[in-house]
Amino acid sequence: IPEYAFIGRSNVGKSSLINMLTDRKSLAKTSGRPGKTQLINHFIINDEWYLVDLPGYGYARVSKTSKKKFQKFITNYFEQRQQLVSAFVLVDIRHKPQTIDLEFMQYLGENGIPFGIIFTKADKLKPNAIDNHVEDYCKELLKTWEELPPYFITSSSKKIGQDDVLNFIDATNEEIEALKKE
């Protein structure tokens, strides 16, 4: 079964996004307190694919040792997952591109792991500000990448972007099925 992994800085809105995508409010608990999602959670969607909830990264106040441990944990995951189709890196649409996110995307690229970007909390910006922020983000990416990854603009509180993400995953799964049949 194909897997899609969701990851981002803690407090980026990952639990809320997963709740929106799975439409089951009780599945991933949201919290105002960063760092609650500690281990990997798997959600099977329509018997067709796995949504993999990876722990958030980039807490300000953790020791070097636990940062190292976390990195090992994440790299182990990415090195071992045969079924992983794509990762989604979540970024708060209000923020300028953050080194930690860009470095993580770099890591994915270097390891041949396809990824998309999910901009979260779009309800917090006016439409023209959304466009500006996304444009700035893309400009930053184009400094190191030849091509832009697929990206999605979402708001879990306003239910924006749900179909965009799910349709992308469905289309990708169909492509995989078609390739298998060839």
Q: Which of 55, 139, 65, 62 is nearest to 104 (CA)?
A: 55
The pair of structure tokens assigned to 4 is 């899609």
Single out the segment in contact with ligand GDP by CB under 6 A; choices: 31-39, 106-114, 130-138, 145-153.
31-39
Smallest distance, ligand GDP to C-beta of residue 154, A: 7
| The only residue of 4, 6, 16, 87 in contact with ligand GDP, by rule CB under 6 A | 16
Q: Are 37 and 28 in contact (CB under 8 A)?
A: yes
| Three-state secondary-structure class, residue 20 | helix
Site for ligand GDP in 45-64 (CB under 6 A): 56
- 15 interacts with ligand GDP by CB under 6 A: yes
- 32 interacts with ligand GDP by CB under 6 A: yes
Q: Are 119 and 156 in contact (CB under 8 A)?
A: no
Site for ligand GDP in 105-134 (CB under 6 A): 120-121, 123-124
Q: Are 115 and 105 in contact (CB under 8 A)?
A: yes
Residue type at 28 in one-letter notation: A
| Interacting residues with ligand GDP (CB under 6 A) | 10-16, 30-32, 34, 37, 56, 120-121, 123-124, 155-157
